[in-house]
Structure 1
């Protein structure tokens, strides 16, 4: 008796009422699919079965690196497994991001994403990856606003006042960013596009030298994270104009949100999340998402987020998918409106 005949007998025993409605070939195909699904389930049940790498596409010591190492430590503790951070730097994060996109889709190579994940391909179509098509979202981890700030001698105190001031002085104000094509740059371009102001962009190699130049009076404006700018706000060396979300942030309650300034059409979010290569099994993604939810609920992790002016954001796969699509589309629109063209960043 052939293998096919044996399989038919087994299927007849298991499904006596339904077998007459199907040919032997259909049943064989069904059995093959079932074996494949069972194999996927077995893979998820044993995951991780080798070291997991979280690729951080920026240098060690940066905020993204610190977040990656926190997640690696906590995931390793939860699973009793090896979870390590691998820094793959260059091209404003594009090199490490491309690497993960091309890695095996088995859940053992993950990418820590932040704002450049969407801003870079928005300004640079040749970035070498698509945030939507190349990746499977796992979940957001944390999020928080940026903060608009200015030199202390500029005669304005809110972002709304900046808009009015700039509209009467086209091209007379300047703005420093952490580099062309980054979120700091695009926040300025968003303001220019929506409010019709002319402010000169001056890109720096990082936000720290731009901040020092603003303190010294060489430039007028910038945006940065709250932890980076808050010390200079508290000692009076710079003036805060707004946080880049609708409401005030509890870490600096005296700084206005956008909605109360009549600027709710502006927004920008500093975020962290995890993604995997497209095609990673859904059960593996689900297990990772559950782990992220447990980690972001830990008191010590929440205390760490609070110190960094971040909020836990473990809303899951569907939320992250919507966020990435919306964020990418929004920055692409700003790029088109402002006619930004770049060959490299």
Structure 2
């Protein structure tokens, strides 16, 4: 005869929460390899602001310019691989192995991609006193005055540098390039006339105010905000195309689940209407990719620009 006693299962053991479910557990830091105020800084701060709101946790931007981005890169390489410290990267991150004989890191071995934040074409601008009103006139003047045209950029291998190198390679002109630690100090010298020209993405307000003259857009298509400004390719230089990109990477051993969470949250932020509107106002094109696709994109950019770096024998100064 059955006793009728009830059978009770033991209580389930509590499962430890995953790193991704707990992230972020403390303030998040995005390290930018350029000074405050430029394009790299602006897009990082825009993303950080909205990630802070989403996570209810402070997400700060730390500027560590210098050393062709090596200072910032090594600082993040040495940080804890937990997602709380990330590096804002652009083209030099992928190109530095081709430019330095000995590099203290490998961008594709020591870091993992998180996602693309934005891409942005540059605009060739000159001081209003410069005697050129088009790219063809700029090239003609530089050809007649070899080495006399001064062009600012934000670092060897940066897109502000390589946009110019691509044009010099196509035309054979010689200019004098001047390296700055970021866009802000370079802008000061362009606005004062101490430097003739710059390929840059963050001078729209100065263009509109007439403080600099825009000659051409580096992308293959015109900008929506400057529809009357032709591309460089349109002005007699077919095939010319250059654009910056900005994204996030993290130290190599950051847990994949944490990377996927950050990437998904970054993608959500980049779909917000207010973020897309702000990026459009800054001539940025909002990104938002998977980690894998961002990694492939950086590999492709390294291969594309690496050909120019080798051909022009570009090395850090």
Q: Is the pair's TM-score, using the shorter chain for normalization, greater than 0.5?
A: yes
1:267 aligns with 2:276: no
1:117 aligns with 2:79: no
1:187 counterpart SS class: helix
Residues in 2 aligned to 1:88 and 1:214: alpha-carbon distance in whole angstroms: 23
Residues in 1 aligned to 2:197 and 2:268: alpha-carbon distance in whole angstroms: 39
CA shift for structure 1 position 49: 3.8
Contact (CA 8 Å) 1:147, 1:242: kept in 2 or not? yes
Structure 2 residue runs without a partner (length 5+) = 1-14
1:240 counterpart SS class: strand
Q: TM-score, normalised by structure 1?
A: 0.75
Report the RMSD for the aligned CA atoms in angstroms: 3.0
2:237 counterpart SS class: coil
Q: 1:309 aligns with which of 269, 276, 283?
A: 283
1:67 aligns with 2:43: yes
Contact (CA 8 Å) 2:120, 2:285: kept in 1 or not? yes
2:150 counterpart SS class: strand
1:22 — aligned with what? Answer: none
CA shift for structure 1 position 135: 1.4
2:152 — aligned with what? Answer: 176
CA shift for structure 1 position 193: 1.8
Q: 1:322 aligns with which of 274, 296, 302?
A: 296
2:161 — aligned with what? Answer: 185
Residues in 2 aligned to 1:74 and 1:307: alpha-carbon distance in whole angstroms: 17
Contact (CA 8 Å) 2:24, 2:84: kept in 1 or not? yes
Aligned residues: 303
Contact (CA 8 Å) 1:247, 1:258: kept in 2 or not? no
Q: Which has the larger radius of gyration?
A: 1
Q: CA-to-partner distance for each residue in 1:17-68, whole Å, 9 max, x for gaps?
A: xxxxxxxxxxxxxxxxxxxxx98x9333333344433223344555434433
Tell which has more relative contact order, 1 or 2 (C-alpha 8 A, sep 6+). Answer: 2
1:23 — aligned with what? Answer: none
Q: 1:281 aligns with which of 255, 268, 273?
A: 255
Residues in 1 aligned to 2:181 and 2:250: alpha-carbon distance in whole angstroms: 29
Q: TM-score, normalised by structure 2?
A: 0.81
Contact (CA 8 Å) 1:58, 1:92: kept in 2 or not? no
Residues in 1 aligned to 2:56 and 2:183: alpha-carbon distance in whole angstroms: 38
1:11 — aligned with what? Answer: none
2:12 — aligned with what? Answer: none
Residues in 1 aligned to 2:236 and 2:148: alpha-carbon distance in whole angstroms: 24
Q: How does 1:182-331 map to 2 (within 5 A)?
A: 182-204=158-180, 206-208=182-184, 210-211=186-187, 213-214=189-190, 217-225=193-201, 227-228=202-203, 230-331=204-305
2:7 — aligned with what? Answer: none
Structure with greater proportional helix content: 1
> Judging changes above 3 Å, is the alpha-carbon distance between structure 1 residues 97 and 264 closer, same or farther for their aligned structure 2 residues?
farther
Contact (CA 8 Å) 2:33, 2:71: kept in 1 or not? yes
CA shift for structure 1 position 191: 1.5
Q: How does 1:112-151 map to 2 (within 5 A)?
A: 112-118=88-94, 120-151=96-127
Residues in 2 aligned to 1:65 and 1:154: alpha-carbon distance in whole angstroms: 29
Q: CA-to-partner distance for each residue in 1:212-271, whole Å, 9 max, x for gaps?
A: 55555554322122x32x333334343211111011111111211234234343332232
Q: Which moved more, 1:239-248 or 1:173-182?
A: 173-182
Q: Which moved more, 1:83-92 or 1:109-118?
A: 83-92
Contact (CA 8 Å) 2:152, 2:180: kept in 1 or not? yes
1:48 — aligned with what? Answer: 24
